[in-house]
Amino acid sequence: MKRILTLSAMLLCMASPLLKADEGMWLPALISQRIGDMQAKGFKLSAEDVYSVNQASLKDAVVLFGSGCTGELVSADGLLFTNHHCGYSYIQKHSSVEHDYLKDGFWAMSRAEELPNPGLTVRFLERMEDVTAMVLKGYKAKMTEEQRQALVKKNADKLKEQAVKDGQGLRASVEALFYGNQYFLFVFREYTDVRMVGAPPSSIGKFGGETDNWMWPRHTGDFSIFRIYAGPDNMPAEYSETNVPYHPKRFMKISTAGVKEGDFTFVYGCPGSTQEYVHSDLVEYIQNVSDPE
């Protein structure tokens, strides 16, 4: 499943005795369209603090972990948190009869004990750009759907090739939004030396299984810890014992103050998809045909 970095926001305010949540999913690059409303509800950062290509922003502390998970940087030395189920396969690969890390958990007591994970990648968003006009360049109304798709692929492939030609570790994708009515180019920088630092026992990390996964409040220690390593220039490098911890442009600072009722809350990450913006005919189809009561 393709993943697109989005800002999933639950904007909490005290407009009534009951909390009201203005829910939605927005691309970080379009945050300026929402920032006024967010600040009115208590958000204290600027649009540039959330997404910027010219200065460090929250986008530099949130990563695409593996093929479809979210991770967040929490230290100046490349330490990141993700879900336990996102790290599960890597915990499993390192487990053995003698060292059952799935059952007992794993904690590296030093950086020398951190475990490499061949094939695991972490991607940082460098930039995103609306490329609709370029992707649809040459389109004619008389084209068949097959011809349209061929044109879109041809133009998108050119854009991706141009986007990564001058950068170390760059990867690009062109994603269709709103059912092919808008296209965005996403450019990522990919790191391939990602090492496992810690994970709780599965009795904690998977407590309750899929049943608990859909409940609130949850009682699961659903986390695992990894560290990104880079070459001496802080750029992507293949695994080497001489690599050093990656130093992010920005990382999350964890507050111990907690939250109180009415605090502004939002989530920054890589969800798979949303049907929030489907047209009315599809809503009717889902309600009455595909998922009737």
pLDDT digits (tens, 9 = 90+) for 114-147: 999 999 999 999 999 999 999 999 999 999 999 9
Backbone angles phi, psi at 36, to 5 degrees: -60, -45
State the Rg of the chain over Cα. Answer: 21
Question: Is 286 domain-assigned?
Answer: yes
pLDDT for 212? 82
Q: Tell me the percentage of the chain whose pLDDT exceeds 70.
A: 92
Q: State which residues form the domain around 119.
A: 6-128+187-290
Question: Is 106 domain-assigned?
Answer: yes
The helix (H) or strand (E) run that includes residue 122 is strand 122-130
pLDDT digits (tens, 9 = 90+) for 252-288: 998 888 888 889 988 899 877 777 778 888 889 989 9
pLDDT for 255? 86
Domain boundary (171, 186, 201) is at 186
Task: Assess whether 96 and 216 both reside in one domain.
Answer: yes
Task: Assess whether 86 and 24 both reside in one domain.
Answer: yes
Task: Assess whether 150 and 202 both reside in one domain.
Answer: no
pLDDT for 7? 56
Give Cα 260 to chain centroid, integer Å. Answer: 26
* CB-based contact 132:147 (threshold 8 Å): no
Cα torsion 272, 21, 276, 6 to 10°: value is: -40
Domain boundary (137, 158, 186) is at 186
For residue 110, the 8-state DSSP code is S
Q: Which residue has the tokens 């699961």?
A: 220
Residue ranges of the alpha helices (H) in the chain? 35-40, 47-50, 84-94, 101-104, 132-135, 145-164, 202-205, 209-213, 280-285
Nearby residues of 36 by Cβ (< 8 Å), 6 or more positions away: none
Backbone angles phi, psi at 92, to 5 degrees: -65, -45
Residue 93 DSSP SS3: helix
Question: Is 21 domain-assigned?
Answer: yes
pLDDT for 19? 43
pLDDT for 48? 96
Task: Assess whether 40 and 140 both reside in one domain.
Answer: no
Residue ranges of the alpha helices (H) in 136-258? 145-164, 202-205, 209-213
Task: Assess whether 133 and 120 both reside in one domain.
Answer: no
Cα 25 to Cα 6, 12, 275: the distances in Å are 6, 15, 10
pLDDT for 5? 58
Q: Which residue has the tokens 């890390």?
A: 101
Burial of 104 (0-12, 13-18, 19+ CB in 10 A): middle
Task: Assess whether 164 and 83 both reside in one domain.
Answer: no
> In the predicted model, is pLDDT for residue 9 greater than 70?
no
CATH of the domain at 91: 2.40.10.10
pLDDT digits (tens, 9 = 90+) for 49-94: 999 999 999 999 999 999 889 999 999 999 999 999 999 999 999 9
pLDDT for 39? 94
Task: Assess whether 35 and 121 both reside in one domain.
Answer: yes
For residues 293 and 284, what is the distance between their CA atoms, to the nearest angstrom?
13
Question: Is 1 domain-assigned?
Answer: no
> In the predicted model, is pLDDT for residue 10 greater than 50?
no
Counted domains in the chain: 2
Task: Assess whether 216 and 104 both reside in one domain.
Answer: yes
> In the predicted model, is pLDDT for residue 3 greater than 60?
no
Question: Is 161 domain-assigned?
Answer: yes
pLDDT band at residue 21, thresholds of 50, 70 and 90? Answer: low
Task: Assess whether 194 and 258 both reside in one domain.
Answer: yes
Q: For all residues of the chain together, what is the average pLDDT?
A: 90
pLDDT band at residue 247, thresholds of 50, 70 and 90? Answer: very high
Task: Assess whether 115 and 244 both reside in one domain.
Answer: yes
Tokens of 207: 């407590």
> In the predicted model, is pLDDT for residue 22 greater than 80?
no
Question: Is 209 domain-assigned?
Answer: yes
Question: Is 116 domain-assigned?
Answer: yes
Task: Assess whether 160 and 199 both reside in one domain.
Answer: no
Task: Assess whether 14 and 148 both reside in one domain.
Answer: no
Question: Is 65 domain-assigned?
Answer: yes
pTM, to two decimals: 0.87
Domain boundary (186, 204, 224) is at 186
